[in-house]
Structure 1
Amino acid sequence: MPKHLALVLLTSLPCWAIAQQVAIDSSKYPPLKTMTAQQDQANMMQQLGIRKLRPGPSGNESDPNHANYDESQANPCPQLPDVLTTKKGRKVTTPDQWWSVRRPEIIEDFEKEMYGRIPANVPKVTWTTKVTDNEFVGRIPVLARHMIGRVDNSEYPLISVNINMVLVLPQNVKGPVPVMIMLGFPTLPAPAQPSLPELEKINAAFKDMMIKSNPELKAIFDKYPAYSPITRLPGPNFFAPAPNGDSPPTEQLLAAGWGYCTLEPGSIQADNGAGLTRGIIGLTNKGQPRKPEDWGALRAWGWGASRVLDYLETDPLVNAKQVAVEGVSRYGKAALVAMAFDQRFAMVLIGSSGKGGTTLQRRVFGEAVESLAGSGEYHWMAGNYLKYAASESSSGPKTGCDLPIDSHELLALCAPRPTFVSYGIPEKGDAKWLDQMGSYKATVAAGPVFQLLGAKDLSANSEYNKDSMPPVLTGLMNGELAWRQHNGGHTDAPNFQYFIPWASKLLRYERVAK
């Protein structure tokens, strides 16, 4: 076979598909570029004329280069970009001015300087069902589907992208139901199992097969005639207590009449710089390195959530106008990005997102711009973001203070839709590094846009540079913009018992039993 003919095994196809090897004439396509994260970052620096990046601070407070945790030193440029002033200096006073002028300006800056642009040539996604199962979560009957979203790679078959997600819908309520898209790793809740007579047939056939493979096993089975190699898993506990605030978030959602969908971000785009020539970003770039305005992983994960929403819009059991998106940490950033750019999402729960999420970029407290741009997390952002960590560059040194936008404006892009910002406490593992205060200030500063669009913010009289962060366990949840700091760690699970009734009320959704 000529060297330019490559055999590509489509291993990420659904397992029910027949695995097959397809001969691809690789000479017809640009060669797939393979680089380490360091090489990819160096390539982007060269494109931008950056000679040196400032290193990010250490999270270890005993190190000489430790991060700043002195609030008096945290605001080198306390004046934020005015979310309601256009680039021409005109004050935005009407919703129409926001939608037609100011919001597009903010989106343009975020796409160019932080998260990157989704290219026009992103191929379509075709969803197929890998498994459909009737299961139980606790004592709640559910319909569970394991879905695969295959991205059309006919333009560049050297890369395959197959989006992995599981959809779980309650069967004891009248639909259609709201659904929460949760960024994480999908698993089916609990597989439905064969009946006892069916299991007896399976065991008999399995024993025969094992004995034929190894005749010595017959003596063992004769010695233990009641033994069955395959046993039933524990079934649903119908006497278990009803879900409460300590139950897993998925159980709380189902008990409230919601469905949930778990989406695997890594099946869309790898969480590393070396993967930028693979995944959906690599597929659209035909295996080549990014340009400075190309999208990063956060935008790609948000794009994937939107493709799940595309599918949910076709499902009659789902109320597609009541689909929320949720994530924690890096996935909290991605959930916020998805909500900000796709107005079809009804609401968002943003857990402990830090820099690149809800925390102000201009703040120098814990995690810094350099922590993202100058480290192994640069791939989350557009290439242009590296400019704001440059100490030596053809365009001069820049810092987060030079960004034309900040996270309060990203939150403002969600208005007037319900937006819930969640954090834990450092003592339980939600580290100071995340700068809870910086996120609170951003949430306050986003308020004027919510007010302009007829929604309620945290407080009509709040000022981001004067307000103090409320005590832990004090939820500000009287409007569409909400804040609550729980007393747990790096998770949003303790806030679900507050989020769900808040969300259901704003959606005007009430669970109705079948």
Structure 2
Amino acid sequence: MDERIASLPEVLETLDGEKVTSAEQWQQKRRPEIFKCFREHVFGREPCPDRLSFHMISEEQLKETIKSKKVRLTYVGPGGEGTFNVHLLIPCQSRQPVPAFLLINHQTPESPLSTSFWPTDEIVSRGYAAIVIHVQEIDPDFDDGFKNGVHALFDAPGEPRPKNAWGTLAAWAWGASRVMDYLETDPDIDQHRVAVVGHSRGGKTALWAGAVDQRFKMVVSNNSGCTGAALSRGKKGETIKAINTRFPHWFAENYKAFNDKEYDMPFDQHMLLSLIAPRLLYVTSATEDDWSDPESEFLSLLLTSPVYQLFGLKGLGESPYPSPEEPIIGEHVGYHLRTGQHDLVEYDWKCFLDFADRFL
């Protein structure tokens, strides 16, 4: 057996040694244990807003078949008030609420509406609303001691941050959950069929958003690599020490205790992916993305199968590592390896949409 697999914590065994054999055990006992572990040691503890409100900034008919909305979300914490915007493009062919893709976008807010990274024309033409948040509006992506963005409104002033305090990626995931709060009020959107999508650091964020907020019916992690979909044990390319050194603001301070100590962790990333079960989960890799380590991403997803099986779903079963452009679709779980570099492109979106057409 692969050394790293042999050393992995057992997903289906509780902290007190009880074997998990049912979906009920998973939901009531084992899942909360794993979730608490990632919240405490990796992403940090997010707060609840004191108040949350929504304001329609603009609403217009772009074409006969597409409606555009821009909504401002306002939240209140102990340190004051903050806002960020949500952009929606909604197909109007149906009189019924439509399913949606929410992109956690870490690119610049000035990027065009429809690109290969965010092909809104294709998404809307397939019958889905295309919704995007720009994470810089929630928490700018640089290390300034958490004085900017949403953290400043919730951290206790003048006090040292706890080592389990939320980092930047948890703040972005928090923002995605606030969008879900809004979508529950929007009659154009089917709140029960919302997929959250992210690429790279956004892919890590999408996984945590899906773990924290089970209202997301589908979670898509594109090229998320270290502390995303990829197993940390034996991983090639980026390591925990490398990511914590380069991006010290992304995670809780506690996570730095595992620099160069991956085999000492009481968790690994297959356990994060398992928190999505039995909902829809799609993971992608790219052939030239050695920093993310495609084989570790695939192996991690494969190891979620026992959890999906608790719900009567096969997951990916024992599928072999695929060739490029040959997606593997299991029960509620999908994966593809794409030829090319670390990116989010139209082929990836085609696969996400095909998967959503089948299950969402």
- TM-score, with structure 1 as normaliser: 0.65
Give the number of aligned pairs.
355
| Counterpart residue number, 2:79 | 156
Please give the alpha-carbon distance, in whole angstroms, between the structure 2 residues aligned to 1:423 and 1:115: 22
Q: Is the 8 A contact 1:75 1:364 kept in 2?
A: no
With a CA cutoff of 8 Å and minimum separation of 6, indicate the structure with the bigger relative contact order. Answer: 1
CA distance in 1, matches of 2:69, 2:111: 8
1:161, distance to aligned residue in structure 2 (A): 2.4
| 1:451 Cα offset (Å) | 1.1
**Share of identical aligned residues, percent?**
32
Q: What does 1:141-180 correspond to in 2, within 5 Å?
A: 141-153=65-77, 155-157=78-80, 160-180=81-101
Pair 1:399-2:275 in alignment: no
Find runs of 4+ consecutive structure 1 residues off by over 3 angstroms.
74-78, 185-190, 286-289
1:482 to 334, 341, 353: 334
1:103 equivalent among 15, 18, 31: 31
How many Å apart are 1:287 and its aligned residue? 4.3
Cα distance in 2 for partners of 1:149, 1:247 equals 24
Q: Which has the larger radius of gyration?
A: 1
Deviations 1:480-499 (A, max 9, x none): 11110112332233122122
Q: Which residue number corresponds to residue 330 of structure 1?
A: 201
The superposition leaves residues 427-476 of structure 1 with CA deviations (integer Å, 9 ceiling, x where unpaired) of xxxx20111111111001111101111223112xx2xxxx7522111211
CA RMSD of aligned residues (A): 2.3
Query: For residues 497 and 174 of structure 1, what CA distance do their matches in structure 2 show?
Result: 25
Provide the secondary structure at the position in 2 that maps to 1:472.
coil
Q: State TM-score, norm by structure 2.
A: 0.92
Q: Is 1:277–1:287's contact at 8 Å kept on the other side of the alignment?
A: no
Structure 1 residue 79: deviation in Å? 2.1
- Give the corresponding residue for 1:94: 22
C-alpha distance in 2, partners of 1:410/1:88?
20
Q: Distance in 2 between matches of 1:334 and 1:75?
A: 28
Kindly indicate whether residue 247 of structure 2 is the aligned counterpart of residue 319 of structure 1: no
Task: Flag structure 2 segments of 5+ consecutive residues without an equivalent.
Answer: none
For 1:125, the equivalent position in structure 2 comes to 52
The Cα offsets for residues 398-423 of structure 1, whole Å up to 9 and x where unpaired, read as 61111111110111000011100012
**Alpha-carbon contact 1:76-1:363 (below 8 Å) kept:** yes
List runs of 5+ in structure 1 lacking aligned partners: 1-73, 191-242, 390-397, 508-514
1:388–1:403 Cα contact (<8 Å) kept: yes
Q: Distance in 2 between matches of 1:364 and 1:501?
A: 30
What is residue 442 of structure 1 aligned with on the other side? 300
Matched, 1:471 2:323: yes
1:146-169 Cα distance to aligned partner (Å, 9 max, x none): 12112225x323xx5211220110
Is this contact kept in 1: 2:84–2:137, CA < 8 A? yes
* Greater fraction of residues in strand: 2
Structure 1 residue aligned with 2:277, among 406, 410, 415? Answer: 415
Task: Report if the CA contact (8 A) 1:359-1:439 is conserved.
Answer: yes
**Per-residue deviation at 1:377?**
0.9
- Name the CA distance, whole Å, in 1 between partners of 2:330 and 2:239: 31
CA contact (8 A) 1:166 1:186 kept: no
